[in-house]
Chain A
């Protein structure tokens, strides 16, 4: 980023910047990564202009570095997110997110008769289509597609 350009969200010394989040999904990302439950300093901006997304959001988390399997959980809501790992105000590493093969939690099964909607069972899905993100429930074997995805 050029030094003349004014930052919409102030810089952090050490930590992780998650960029290119679709603005409407900012709070879903915060939820999925449990950012509302940690004590780190967090700054975020939403409805920032983006050539790619129209309106994007950005989150900067001080002193927090994510494991790949943690960060891949946001692939459902922010498939084009870019991560910058910051050490001493410098970007030391860039990462993208990958849609995982399977995951637990995050999404509600679309099938009202599914056991996960009746008993205290953690949702578990297999990703059957990574491009359009459609999910097959491990329990009732029904497909939840992007259009019907409801986040927990």
Chain B
């Protein structure tokens, strides 16, 4: 991965994924290693994302590096009409690595082609967010002790949710089986089901969140957003159906963990929070270790 950009989870081999997770494990045990001493990381956030930006910046700081950048485009020359290419070419002069979040899809791939320094995609619109996927994998391995042969429940907006699509692609390396829980309007797109069939991986679909939860190793919750529905009536019908409550977890495996990319709105009731099976806040912490590992590998420091 040295000197390579990280744009899409599909760019990584299984071995590369495991290498990131192993190194993240090392950082989780010993987070304060000043290996980024003298390095400058640019964080270019063209749209706000508190969690992703702060966890990247925390990761750089813990490794002893410096951060430059912006957290919204309105205060930059972008608002004067500067092209993405020109911004990237300029910032590449000021930094050793660029972390970029941008609302336009494919912007990270394009930036990686014009930039002289590696680019880490911190989300390009609805397309890719590979560091989220890697921290999800880290959290799954950490809680289950393995990645192979797990049953993953993906819940909520499976049609537009990029995190569930990337997670599905990444878990396909590890003989996972999937249960898709979504309202009719937001079911998993056919291309992903075809992909699983080609790989010979099992999946089932259901609309009721209450069914089969005892079979889950991971319940991965996502938000059902109002703006995804063409018919507001449909949204009203399903908005409270995909809410996870603590009592629903009674029959689940003790080793099962609930994950969520956050921010949560109401899809996980706060009565789940004290349950030891609730893992989403630790998952957010794992984002720091995973991003430390990714940056260390790309900068060739590990």
Residues of chain A whose beta carbon lies under 8 Å from any beta carbon of chain B: 111, 113-116, 118-121, 137-143
Residues of chain B within 8 A of A141, CB atoms compared: 8, 105-106, 127-128
List the 9 closest A-B pairs by CB distance, nearest first: A139-B106, A140-B105, A140-B106, A115-B106, A115-B107, A139-B109, A113-B105, A115-B110, A115-B104
Q: Is the CB of B105 within 8 A of A111?
A: yes
Residues of chain A within 8 A of B30, CB atoms compared: none
Closest chain A CB from B78 CB (angstroms): 12
Nearest A residue to B102, CB-CB: A115
Residue B265, interface by CB 8 Å: no
Residue B84, interface by CB 8 Å: yes
Q: Is the CB of B191 within 8 A of A119?
A: no
Measured in the bound complex, the distance between the Cα atoms of B102 and A115 in whole Å is: 10
Contact of B83 among A114, A119, A139, A140 (CB under 8 A): A119
Nearest A residue to B106, CB-CB: A139
Closest chain A CB from B202 CB (angstroms): 24
Residue B103, interface by CB 8 Å: yes
Q: Identify 15 residue pairs between A and B in the complex whose beta-carbon atoms are under 8 Å apart, listed by A's number.
A: A113-B104, A114-B104, A114-B106, A115-B105, A115-B109, A119-B83, A119-B85, A119-B104, A138-B106, A138-B109, A139-B105, A140-B125, A140-B127, A141-B106, A141-B127
Closest chain A CB from B89 CB (angstroms): 13
Residue B126, interface by CB 8 Å: yes
Measured in the bound complex, the distance between the Cα atoms of B124 and A114 in whole Å is: 10
Q: Is the CB of A114 within 8 A of B109?
A: no
Nearest A residue to B109, CB-CB: A139
Closest chain B CB from A136 CB (angstroms): 10
Residues of chain A within 8 A of B107, CB atoms compared: 115, 119, 139
Q: How many A-B residue pairs have CB under 8 A?
A: 50
Measured in the bound complex, the distance between the Cα atoms of B83 and A41 in whole Å is: 41
For chain B, give the interface size range: 10 to 19
Residues of chain B whose beta carbon lies under 8 Å from any beta carbon of chain A: 8, 83-85, 103-107, 109-110, 124-128, 191
Contact of B110 among A121, A142, A143 (CB under 8 A): A121
Residues of chain A within 8 A of B110, CB atoms compared: 115, 119, 121, 139
Q: Is the CB of B106 within 8 A of A137?
A: yes
Closest chain A CB from B141 CB (angstroms): 26
Nearest B residue to A139, CB-CB: B106
Measured in the bound complex, the distance between the Cα atoms of B109 and A137 in whole Å is: 11
Closest chain B CB from A44 CB (angstroms): 37
Measured in the bound complex, the distance between the Cα atoms of B107 and A114 in whole Å is: 8
Measured in the bound complex, the distance between the Cα atoms of B106 and A118 in whole Å is: 10
Nearest B residue to A117, CB-CB: B104
Residues of chain B within 8 A of A143, CB atoms compared: 191
Nearest B residue to A116, CB-CB: B106
Closest chain A CB from B48 CB (angstroms): 18
Most chain A beta carbons < 10 A, residue from B106, B124, B191: B106
Nearest B residue to A121, CB-CB: B110
Residues of chain A within 8 A of B127, CB atoms compared: 140-142
Given contacts A114-B105, A119-B110, A141-B106, 10 further A-B contacts (CB under 8 A): A113-B105, A115-B104, A115-B124, A121-B110, A137-B106, A138-B106, A138-B109, A140-B106, A140-B124, A140-B127
Q: Is the CB of B128 within 8 A of A113?
A: no
Most chain A beta carbons < 10 A, residue from B105, B125, B127: B105
Closest chain B CB from A115 CB (angstroms): 4
Closest chain B CB from A111 CB (angstroms): 6
Closest chain A CB from B58 CB (angstroms): 29
Measured in the bound complex, the distance between the Cα atoms of B126 and A3 in whole Å is: 61
Q: Known: A121-B110, A139-B106, A139-B110. Is A115-B84 also a contact (CB below 8 A)?
A: yes
Residues of chain B within 8 A of A139, CB atoms compared: 105-107, 109-110
Closest chain B CB from A50 CB (angstroms): 36
Closest chain A CB from B57 CB (angstroms): 25
Contact of B125 among A113, A119, A120 (CB under 8 A): A113
Measured in the bound complex, the distance between the Cα atoms of B83 and A120 in whole Å is: 9
Q: Is the CB of B126 within 8 A of A113?
A: yes
Closest chain A CB from B43 CB (angstroms): 20
Residues of chain A within 8 A of B191, CB atoms compared: 143
